[in-house]
Structure 1
Amino acid sequence: MSSTDRRPLSRRITAVAAAALIPLGAAGVAWAATTDNMFPTAYTGSYCATGMGVGQPCQTDDREVYFYMDSSGEYELESPDRAAVNSAIDDEYRPTDLAFHYDSSPVFSGDGETDIIYQEGSTGLPSNLDGITWCNAKGHDNKDCDQQYIRIRGNGHYTHGLTCHETGHAVGLQHGDWASPQLSRTDTRLGCMVTPVGSNAGLGANNRENINATY
């Protein structure tokens, strides 16, 4: 579906359930969604708020997702960090209905801001978190964000799994206790959206279904 055709929650849940019955790919494998963990659900507010401390995911504002990896200054990503971002996007998100594009000339204000900015650093991160995602500029409605920031600690914390997790938040995926029906935050059916997340965790069938049903 298009990013502007935001269906009501009940219709999204129906679509996710129906999608589980449709074989996908040459091998005829059906992806079955276990729960709806795409913002918003019955367990989250129906609004997207800005600010680093909000702690609530927003959907991104279009299926065409433009991203940038900070290349200078305090939050510059080093080579292993950049590799983690590229592998998570290539292996986990490009096979979905989202289309990711690297933006070598990022836009930070006004219309058409770059959708996701990846940073490496710990400034502003609570001591119990290795990474955080927040909305910097709201989109055209109360569900989506025009520009989101992902900040992950350095020194080995920028892994495939954690990058997959924080990118999931940037497209609207939530933890299990905010899903409908609710799941444990450690339920393995949540793929890389489990907490804590393993370094090699992948997106998984449930998250792919929810992304494709939304975008």
Structure 2
Amino acid sequence: MRARGPQRRRVAGVVAMALVPLTVAVGVAWAAVTDNMFPTLATSVTCWLESGHPPCQTDNREVYFYMDSSGEYELESEDRATVNAAIDGEYRPTDLAFHYDSSPVFEGDAETDIIYQEGSTGLSDGAAGMTWCNALGGKPYKCDQQYIRIRGNGDYTYARVCHETGHAVGLQHGKYSTPVLDNTDGRLGCLVTPSDGHPHLGANNRENINATY
């Protein structure tokens, strides 16, 4: 993360929830129907440096992102436009501040937060995209740099960018939420599965983002 800023009220609530299960609602904005921001009572409290684990929080509200512009994972122009549209339409209205990083940093303690790629390497046959943490962000539940990889050939949609970007800031599927929701529950907005099932972030995800960052 390029800049460090204050973490807001939800973190203390999550710690309290981990210690006292009866305080599930502590720290989550009242309008949210579920807490689906990592960590929850349905996840560990540790961010893992590989795919296949629940996604982690980013390490700051100032989110610097980069779209791969050369090589194997370069985004085509229409896919770059889709990323920008989804960030503008869904994430800029939240308390997160997104900035394009034209000079990305891939090592050290101030790495570019989100790297968008186009490709299928590492994706299972049934997956259109994935998000994983590449470097921890100073606390066990935060990530300093996350990668988003989505297939090309029409799979790089607005809804999938919304979905994977949600993972990159810590939002979970329904089965990892507290209380647990079905992964197809429409109240999860673009965090439903399959990942192209809903185009918008939705009120629940916005509330969780704003309560965290």
Question: TM-score normalized by structure 1?
Answer: 0.89
**8 A contact 1:160–1:199 mirrored in 2:** no
Q: For the structure 1 residues 141 and 187, does the alpha-carbon distance in structure 2 shift closer, same or farther, using more than 3 Å as the test?
A: same
Q: Distance in 2 between matches of 1:144 and 1:154?
A: 29
Q: For the structure 1 residues 113 and 12, does the alpha-carbon distance in structure 2 shift closer, same or farther, using more than 3 Å as the test?
A: farther
Secondary structure at 1:7's aligned position in 2? helix
Q: Which residue of 2 aligns with 1:201?
A: 199
Q: How do residues 56-75 of structure 1 correspond to structure 2 at under 5 angstroms? A: 56-75=54-73
Q: Find 2:175's aligned residue among 144, 163, 177.
A: 177
Q: Distance in 2 between matches of 1:42 and 1:160?
A: 30
Q: Find 2:109's aligned residue among 108, 111, 117.
A: 111
Which string of whole-angstrom CA distances, capped at 9 and with x for unpartnered residues, describes residues 120-160 of structure 1? 00011111100000000011010000000000000010000
Q: Distance in 2 between matches of 1:130 and 1:36?
A: 25
Q: Distance in 1 between matches of 2:63 and 2:171?
A: 15
Q: Distance in 1 between matches of 2:190 and 2:102?
A: 27
CA-CA distance at 1:2 after TM superposition: 2.5
One-letter amino acid of the counterpart of residue 104, structure 1: S
Secondary structure at 2:66's aligned position in 1? strand
Q: Distance in 1 between matches of 2:124 and 2:93?
A: 32
**8 A contact 1:159–1:200 mirrored in 2:** no
Q: Which residue of 1 aligns with 2:6?
A: 2
**8 A contact 1:12–1:213 mirrored in 2:** no
Q: For the structure 1 residues 95 and 12, does the alpha-carbon distance in structure 2 shift closer, same or farther, using more than 3 Å as the test?
A: farther
Q: Which residue of 2 aligns with 1:191?
A: 189
CA-CA distance at 1:14 after TM superposition: 2.9
Secondary structure at 1:65's aligned position in 2? strand
The alignment status of 1:168 with 2:166, answered yes or no, reads: yes
One-letter amino acid of the counterpart of residue 12, structure 2: R
Q: Which residue of 1 aligns with 2:88?
A: 90
One-letter amino acid of the counterpart of residue 102, structure 1: Y
Q: Which residue of 1 aligns with 2:20?
A: none
RMSD: 1.7
Q: Which residue of 1 aligns with 2:49?
A: 50
Which string of whole-angstrom CA distances, capped at 9 and with x for unpartnered residues, describes residues 23-75 of structure 1? xxxxxxxxx21100000111101100102x33320000000000000000000
Q: For the structure 1 residues 124 and 197, does the alpha-carbon distance in structure 2 shift closer, same or farther, using more than 3 Å as the test?
A: closer
Secondary structure at 2:25's aligned position in 1? helix
**8 A contact 2:62–2:96 mirrored in 1:** yes
Q: Return 5+ residue gaps in structure 2 as ranges.
A: 18-22
Q: Distance in 2 between matches of 1:200 and 1:173?
A: 15
Q: Which residue of 1 aligns with 2:150?
A: 152
Q: Distance in 2 between matches of 1:64 and 1:54?
A: 26
Q: Return 5+ residue gaps in structure 1 as ranges.
A: 21-31
Q: For the structure 1 residues 199 and 189, does the alpha-carbon distance in structure 2 shift closer, same or farther, using more than 3 Å as the test?
A: closer
Q: Distance in 1 between matches of 2:88 and 2:197?
A: 16
**8 A contact 1:12–1:214 mirrored in 2:** no
